[in-house]
Structure 1
Amino acid sequence: MPESDIQLSLQVHSSMQTIDKNQWDRLIRDNTPFLKHAFLSAMETHGCVSDRFGWIPHHITLSYQDKIIAGMPLYEKHNNYGEFVFDQAWEQAWHQVGLSYYPKLVSAVPYTPAQGQRFLIDAEVDFISQEKLLDTLIQATQSLATEWDMSSVHILFAETDQQHQIEELALPDFYFRHDCQFHWFNQEFETFNDFLASLKRKKRKNIKQERQSILNNGITFRVLNGHTATDQDWEIFDFFYQKTFIEKWSTPTFNLGFFKAIAKALPDQIVLVLADRENECIAGALMFESDTVLYGRHWGCAENIKHLHFETCFYQGIDYAIKKGLRVFEPGAGGEHKIARGFVPVKMRSTHWVKDNPFPEGLANFIRQERQMIDDYADDCLAHIPYQTRPKTF
């Protein structure tokens, strides 16, 4: 049957609860936790995404004969909080000519600058091409933006293969922005000492001194998952999380109910690192794991102790990734301080479609200059990585 004759059913969902969990989850590759039905649903159930925070769900599914063969996490946005691809300059430009930049549509995992699928496509479907399904999902977002009078569509932190596929479609009025993160790549290390041995002498010495200072402070660590973390552990971590955001004059969007819910729903993908001193928990970091990647997400502490952040968030994560044989450790956005701890610059891209663009030349120049700036920045960072030989990336 020609692809043009295949009748697909497109649905827009205001809640994950209206999507079949098993059908959605079977489309996820690498067991990525943030795309799981349980994770996205817990954010909705516990008020982490809502009108209040400017994240309103409009998830898309494509079905054939009542079977979901493609899907897409999608949100209506009324601000840019929790996106990590900053477009305040675009908003200001729209405002200056009397146009509304909000609302807009965003495909991303809220508050989570981690790479992953943005187009969940059934790899076993043989009666319609992957490219056709991807193009259908993109067209659906454009149609929704037009129907609902939204300014634009933004696809953030798509995995590299899908980002390439989008760009190869060569669709009109699409823009591709560039950014840089820092990731750690496992060079088939068997121990943390193997990792240290791959570093330049001075950097290796610095890390050893930082770790020793934590030991000298009498600080020990517990690495827990959803099975072993207790209610009290989550209450303590939630306190750290809330405290960190409030002290930074930011808005905490997750909450204790959410943390407990994902611990129960995704127990084997939770990595909760807690730091103890004299039988008191003084810091914690929450990470997640897929089949191949460790993701660092949130951290907080009761008191500021030198090097505690590096040990809790980076070294404990690297050690865990080595022990589990994970290929990559993504610790989150930003932070040049990560370079000295073994993380290397990784160039990221995002996709943006603008419905009615009042600044075609200006936007193109902005993106071109931004790309050059990111290229120069990444090259400069690469020159300062601590390894004796340049590590293999994936």
Structure 2
Amino acid sequence: MNYRTHIVSSLSEIGEAAWDGLLARQAEANPFLSYAFLHALHESGSAAPDTGWQPQYIALYDGEALAAALPLYVKDHSYGEYVFDWAWADAYQRHGLDYYPKLLAAVPFTPVAGPRLLARDDAARAALIAVLQAAQEAMDVSSTHILFPPEEHARQLEAAGFLLRSGVQFHWLNRGYANFEDFLATLEAKKRKNIRAERRKVREAGVTLRRVRGVDAVDADWVFFNRCYRHTYAAHYSTPYLNLDFFRRIGASMPENILLVIAERGGRPIASSLVIHTEDTLYGRYWGELEHVPCLHFECAYYQPLEFCIEQGIATFEGGAQGEHKMARGFLPTRTFSAHWLAHPAFADAIQNFLAREAGGIDEYMSELNERNPFR
């Protein structure tokens, strides 16, 4: 079938109904791929050309119907990706070559697996891969990187000549727990004792917690959360990726997917976390504090969301990037994937060899982690 191809610099050129309609047909879709979330990133200036994220979305049309699409960016840095290629960029520079600009298919600042090759059927997905290959060959870019696709799509990309890379995240699974104590009872005694001690420290510090559903959040909640978020980045001498406009936008456009946890002491708020969720999956996302209280991060970002999952019957809590410390809190290792194409033949060969060695290390790491299962 012949498709009409568009390269668009704004999601508004595709439209919310068409984008979300195509997304609804994808297995493993999540709220981060929604028009509301992506458009908020762009329109708030968080992921925009001024910050090094130039949207170049590929859209394939069958007549007037959107048949396939790819969230694609031209990037001149590697910030906000969570699949690290800084060493590759350094190697290019040391050999007098430009690594940037590069192409990146991902949800900015979001290490959550999900479909990147959005398509109504296999034929449209194959055509989308072919268009991507033609685009990367035609453009003056060093490489293309597709981050956190589901394994099935990763294997399709591998068959099309992309190199595969794997990583590890930590996810919690709800085994039908009646309450938080029921969950704790399944853990090793030492881990169970440590979690109780961490929660007790927060209570003894005079901290109380409240959960605010997105539909109930008011503007003051978003202003406060943004203060916490920015303060914590500043404390680590980093620049925050997101801004108050972004948080306000998702608060208005996708409130049903949002939960805020707000910590208070002495009648005033001191810290907050924000998670995104659907009926079956919760995604740990953002956190910040104005005052440091020992173990408060664990309470806001892990234990309160875990209790929420149990209460709501949510099956999975994805803990985000990295963090072996999550295993002590009942999270288990899960493999993730990315796919990479490099234009320079010699560097492509070198990186292929590196990835083969790295894959062996990941396999060993996964085996080691599974031997440290936190459950009884």
Scaled by the length of structure 2, what TM-score is found? 0.95
Q: Is the 8 A contact 1:31 1:290 kept in 2?
A: no
Q: Is the 8 A contact 1:240 1:283 kept in 2?
A: yes
Q: Give secondary structure in 2 for the equivalent of 1:149.
A: coil
Q: CA deviation at 1:31?
A: 5.9
Q: Does 1:342 align with 2:330?
A: yes
Runs of 5+ unmatched residues, structure 2: none
Q: CA deviation at 1:360?
A: 4.0
Match of 1:41 among 39, 42, 50: 39
Instruction: Write the deviation string for residues 83-136 of structure 1: whole angstroms up to 9, x where unpaired.
Output: 1111111112222222211111111000000111112222xxxxxxx3322222
2:253 & 2:49 partners in 1: Cα distance?
A: 25
Match of 1:145 among 111, 133, 136: 136
2:67 & 2:286 partners in 1: Cα distance?
A: 33
2:243 & 2:19 partners in 1: Cα distance?
A: 25
Q: CA deviation at 1:383?
A: 1.8
Instruction: Write the deviation string for residues 6-50 of structure 1: whole angstroms up to 9, x where unpaired.
Output: 221111110111112111102224662111111111111110012
| Number of residue pairs the alignment of both structures matches | 373
Q: CA deviation at 1:356?
A: 2.4
Q: CA deviation at 1:373?
A: 1.6
Q: 1:201: which partner in 2?
A: 189
Q: 1:3: which partner in 2?
A: none
Runs ≥4 in structure 1, deviation > 6 angstroms? none
Instruction: Write the deviation string for residues 231-254 of structure 1: whole angstroms up to 9, x where unpaired.
Output: 111111101111122222222121
Q: Give secondary structure in 2 for the equivalent of 1:49.
A: coil
5 Å-filtered alignment, 1:365-376, equals 365-376=353-364
Q: Does 1:298 align with 2:281?
A: no
Q: 2:76: which partner in 1?
A: 78
5 Å-filtered alignment, 1:112-151, equals 112-122=110-120, 130-151=121-142
Match of 1:377 among 339, 360, 365: 365
Q: Does 1:21 align with 2:16?
A: yes
1:135 & 1:355 partners in 2: Cα distance?
A: 21
1:97 & 1:307 partners in 2: Cα distance?
A: 46
Q: Is the 8 A contact 1:142 1:153 kept in 2?
A: no
2:372 & 2:30 partners in 1: Cα distance?
A: 31
Q: Which amino acid aligns with 1:184?
A: W
1:95 & 1:121 partners in 2: Cα distance?
A: 36
Runs of 5+ unmatched residues, structure 1: 1-5, 123-129, 389-394
2:43 & 2:92 partners in 1: Cα distance?
A: 34
2:217 & 2:211 partners in 1: Cα distance?
A: 9
Q: Is the 8 A contact 2:223 2:244 kept in 1?
A: yes
Q: 1:330: which partner in 2?
A: 318
Match of 1:61 among 44, 59, 62: 59
Q: 1:391: which partner in 2?
A: none
Q: Does 1:159 align with 2:157?
A: no
Q: Give secondary structure in 2 for the equivalent of 1:112.
A: coil
Alpha-carbon RMSD across the aligned residues, in angstroms, is 1.5
5 Å-filtered alignment, 1:114-263, equals 114-122=112-120, 130-167=121-158, 170-172=159-161, 174-263=162-251
1:49 & 1:312 partners in 2: Cα distance?
A: 27
1:163 & 1:266 partners in 2: Cα distance?
A: 29
Scaled by the length of structure 1, what TM-score is found? 0.91
Q: CA deviation at 1:154?
A: 0.7
2:140 & 2:325 partners in 1: Cα distance?
A: 42
> Sequence identity of aligned pairs in percent?
40
1:348 & 1:319 partners in 2: Cα distance?
A: 26
Q: Which amino acid aligns with 2:21?
A: R
Q: Give secondary structure in 2 for the equivalent of 1:331.
A: strand
Q: Give secondary structure in 2 for the equivalent of 1:27.
A: helix
- Seen in structure 2, the aligned counterparts of structure 1 residues 145 and 165 have a Cα distance that, compared at 3 Å, is closer
1:323 & 1:96 partners in 2: Cα distance?
A: 54
2:152 & 2:218 partners in 1: Cα distance?
A: 38
Q: Could you tell which deviates more after superposition, 351-360 or 67-76?
A: 351-360
2:139 & 2:353 partners in 1: Cα distance?
A: 29
Q: 2:4: which partner in 1?
A: 9
Q: CA deviation at 1:163?
A: 2.4
Q: Does 1:98 align with 2:96?
A: yes
Q: Is the 8 A contact 2:272 2:288 kept in 1?
A: yes
Q: Could you tell which deviates more after superposition, 225-234 or 374-383?
A: 374-383
1:250 & 1:52 partners in 2: Cα distance?
A: 18
Q: Which amino acid aligns with 2:87?
A: A
